[in-house]
Structure 1
């Protein structure tokens, strides 16, 4: 039986990820995963869970140390990993749009000059020459930094500006693999950004019969319950050194499932979010795609994921909605 095109694409991208990452992991060697996304954005949780799935599925391992930016402990990390590699979470925060992540990245490079530091696949965007020069200095001084990027524009930019190994690598969320969804109750759902990366669009173009919602709403109580369940599982298994990992991974899984349930409500999706596009591919759901404000979404699609009939690059919101209606 011929494999569905989106399933073939997922398998191909997983293979490309393994080709990029495998030389930086040795079986049994402890690794650190930094910058856990304890935030509402389901897409960041998808990236994180893909990173966890990759290490588990390829090597039967879990990270020896994980942290959020706010609770990073250098001493604990070094005690856990020794001279093992440090991995930084992938996503779209390499640059100065989300500057806190960039400052954390540069701090890690400055304080760990003898460690292999690997940046999981990122999109790059700098608006300030000063911030770019700071990144160039930190990377150039480190000498053992690997930068993975997820689109050709970022690849060209990194090769031009940074003195490090640069690799073109798909987004780690694909390591989650295909996901199943329930029968939808809506025909079309628009999932559109409301932050500083939102696409250029006119909000009143959205017809009243199409719900327009971002996927950033969550119940704090539900997230707390998920974290508590993760802690309880570690205590039950007497995995006391794994308390934080169980807690945070449970929160990431809760947020990812919330995102999947969000898009599962409709037969077709309209979006300007990269990970709504990726999750729609994982779920086998048709979706029309608008670019974000600096080209991140189309850049990724042009490089890796735009080759199936499930996704459609629309020039305008009106065009996107018309295409989605046809699929529904």
Structure 2
């Protein structure tokens, strides 16, 4: 029987993570995003909201740039890795970081929060499989059906594979802080996942996450990244995660206010779609270059009111009326 999901039920489903990250447990949260991709920041904020909702104690927070694999972590602490869409060889820096962590901590439970998986190279798939299956207590959460099927097919021997919505759903609902004053927001990818056959990115009213953030915002991010690198060289005496928590709150809140100013949204960003739904805005989601958006939409979002997927090229650009 096909399950019909609502925004309420998607948030409730995240509670199944308590099977492996119990209430009031102690965790080390790794790979939080120290950069300006607002979609990844929404995942981080949802993850932190999940920890808070269930009394989960975060002992330490580390990004991929300032954590040294081999650092002593108590055996009872659960290592929790950030979810998102960078599992595979499209973003090797983050994948290699995760794999080093898995290799260095065979005695800790490791939970990889909901990820979309994409590989281009068969040898990289085999390498990942060997690393994952060597760990005795590794739990991989995939973010949609296609990734779940991929993991079960290619990571044979890894028994703890489950499917879960994106962690940003823990933020549901978000009350719009502004009343709409504009009609349609076009939030269109300009990076390696852009789908040139479906999206139009050159119109003057088109935005992407880097456009929403001001030059001042970006300078602030770069300063914290520089401080993060210097802090690592000095042995990490400064609480970078705490500084970033406050600064990223500002970036996310700014993006929420920006979205709130529009009646509806057309986007090829997965979290442009998810944020629109969290704000209960009518939206159209355009698939990305390798099917991630369509896979997510068809797994979880197709029954959410006022949403539509564009997966195939059409004569006319998508419109909301």
| Range into which the TM-score falls when normalised by the shorter chain | 0.7 to 0.9
Give the structure 2 partner of residue 9 of structure 1: 6
Say which of 155, 159, 166 aligns to 1:171. Answer: 166
Once the two structures are TM-superposed, the CA of residue 183 in structure 1 deviates from its matched residue by 1.4
Say which of 177, 190, 213 aligns to 2:207. Answer: 213
Q: Equivalent residue of 1:321, what SS?
A: coil
Q: Structure 1 residues 131-140 or 177-186, which shifts more?
A: 177-186
Once the two structures are TM-superposed, the CA of residue 265 in structure 1 deviates from its matched residue by 2.5
Once the two structures are TM-superposed, the CA of residue 263 in structure 1 deviates from its matched residue by 1.9
- Matched ranges for 1:106-125 at <5 A: 106-125=99-118
Give the structure 2 partner of residue 18 of structure 1: 15
Give the structure 1 partner of residue 49 of structure 2: 53
Once the two structures are TM-superposed, the CA of residue 274 in structure 1 deviates from its matched residue by 0.5
Query: How far apart, CA to CA, are the structure 2 residues paired with 1:248 and 1:36?
Result: 10
Give the structure 2 partner of residue 270 of structure 1: 266
Once the two structures are TM-superposed, the CA of residue 321 in structure 1 deviates from its matched residue by 3.1
Q: Equivalent residue of 1:216, what SS?
A: helix
Query: How far apart, CA to CA, are the structure 1 residues paired with 2:298 and 2:199?
Result: 26
- Matched ranges for 1:229-308 at <5 A: 243-308=239-304
Q: Deviations over 1:180-234 (max 9, x none)?
A: 221122211210000010123376687x6x7111112334644777999xxxxxx
Query: How far apart, CA to CA, are the structure 1 residues paired with 2:37 and 2:53?
Result: 25
Does 2:193 align with 1:197?
Answer: yes
Query: How far apart, CA to CA, are the structure 2 residues paired with 1:260 and 1:116?
Result: 35
The answer to whether the Cα contact below 8 Å between 2:182 and 2:262 also exists between their aligned partners in 1 is: yes
**Pair 205,18 (structure 1): closer, same or farther in 2 beyond 3 Å:** closer
Gaps of 5+ in 2: 225-236
- Matched ranges for 1:54-133 at <5 A: 54-59=50-55, 61-74=56-69, 78=73, 81-133=74-126
The answer to whether the Cα contact below 8 Å between 1:289 and 1:320 also exists between their aligned partners in 2 is: no
Q: Over the residues paired in the alignment, what is the CA RMSD in angstroms?
A: 2.5
The number of residue pairs the alignment matches comes to 300
**Pair 85,203 (structure 1): closer, same or farther in 2 beyond 3 Å:** closer
Does 2:24 align with 1:31?
Answer: no
TM-score normalised by structure 2 residue count: 0.86
Once the two structures are TM-superposed, the CA of residue 109 in structure 1 deviates from its matched residue by 0.7
Query: How far apart, CA to CA, are the structure 2 residues paired with 1:74 and 1:116?
Result: 15
**Pair 9,198 (structure 1): closer, same or farther in 2 beyond 3 Å:** same
Once the two structures are TM-superposed, the CA of residue 255 in structure 1 deviates from its matched residue by 2.4
Give the structure 2 partner of residue 156 of structure 1: 149
Once the two structures are TM-superposed, the CA of residue 313 in structure 1 deviates from its matched residue by 1.1
Q: If each structure's helix is expressed as a fraction of its own residues, which one has the higher value? A: 1
TM-score normalised by structure 1 residue count: 0.84
